[in-house]
Amino acid sequence: MTFVSASTGFRPAYHYVSRRQLADRVERAIASLAECRACPRDCGVNRLEGKWAACKTGRYAVVSSYFAHFGEEDCLRGWNGSGTIFFSHCNLRCVFCQNYDISQAVRPGPAARGSRPEEIAAMMLELQRHGCHNINFVTPEHVVPQVIEAVAVAIDGGLELPIVYNTSAYDSLESLALMEGIVDIYMPDFKFWSPECARIYMKAEDYPQAARAAIKEMNRQVGPLVLAADGVARRGLLIRHLVMPGMLEETRRVLEWIAAELGRDAYVNLMDQYYPAGKVSAQQYAEINRHLASAEFEEARAIARELGLERLDERHPHPRLRSLSVWG
């Protein structure tokens, strides 16, 4: 396990970026919205004029909720929670999405006008005052320019927390280049290996190729996950993989790639919480209209051990963990 001392004076990555460099980054990021290539969809619409395509998001990011999240990995939630900011809409169309109400069902309109950078920055600073261990952006793939813009404002306001980029891994390399030096912890979910599964269940046949390229770039930027002596993550890559019912071959291929490309020190969270959601029913996508069997999950873990992956996430709640608190 990789640790750093809690007393080493850790500073978030963005503290090593000059104000001038950050201002230039913001300017380039916002300008890119004029012909949007924020994600692999490459829609090319002018979001500065409020137009949108796949992500249904115009000039400003739409925040669904923000709160101290106690359901994340122990190394993120610590004892005061992960400061989570959920963005509405998504650049994927996962038929089984467990956040379907905010990723796909929500419609653009006056009620979803979006939050200006000053408003998102205020959320970040409120989460910091609440004692959260990090700022955790969930589904940021389509709003990278807006995230950078808000982070710059929050830094001026005294932000000191690590930034977590919590993504499906359907990210463009252009967006990840903009985030370099700003993100401390990348947390991609590598969902499917085969283009066919990605086409059927995510409506994005190019997802596996895009995810592999994105995760390799994330690893180049931040390296393996580093924990402080208190058990809280400070920097690095944490890969999630949701084990799907009847799809252990997908899991095997994903884990084989992680072991071969990123090494045994890669930190992996195999997740067993799949349940039918979104558009999945007895009539549609019936083959995944069931919960994951415990035997399937145990086999997934056995595959990981067989491949030599040594850092599988385990639940070990921090002794200082306080009672669940949801607010915001």
User: What is the maximal distance between C-alpha atoms in the chain?
Assistant: 56
At 8 the pLDDT is 53
Q: Give the dihedral of Cα atoms 317, 318, 320, 321; nearest 10 deg.
A: -40
pLDDT recorded at residue 322: 57
**Sign of the C-alpha dihedral, residues 197, 202, 206, 208?**
negative
Residue the block writes with tokens 């992960």: 82
Q: pLDDT tens digits, the chain, 328 residues: what are they?
A: 443 434 457 899 999 999 999 999 999 999 999 999 999 999 999 999 999 999 999 999 999 999 999 999 999 999 999 999 999 999 999 999 988 777 887 766 544 568 999 999 999 999 999 999 999 999 999 999 999 999 999 999 999 999 999 999 999 999 999 999 999 999 999 999 999 999 999 999 999 999 999 999 999 999 999 999 999 999 999 999 999 999 999 999 999 999 999 999 999 999 999 999 999 999 999 999 999 999 999 999 999 999 999 999 998 888 877 544 444 4
Q: What is the pLDDT of residue 109?
A: 53
Beta bridge partners of 4: 228
Query: What is the per-residue pLDDT for 308?
Result: 97
> Which class in CATH covers the domain with range 3-312?
alpha beta
Please tell me the predicted confidence (pLDDT) of residue 325.
Answer: 45
* Sequence-distant (≥ 6) Cβ neighbours of residue 37 within 8 angstroms: 43, 44, 172, 174
- The domains of the chain are located at 3-312
- pLDDT at 63 (0 to 100): 95
**Rounded distance, CA 91 to CA 95, Å?**
13
43-to-35, 37, 40, 311 alpha-carbon distances in Å: 8, 6, 8, 38
Closest CA to 266 of 324, 219, 230, 299: 219
Predicted TM-score of the model (pTM): 0.93
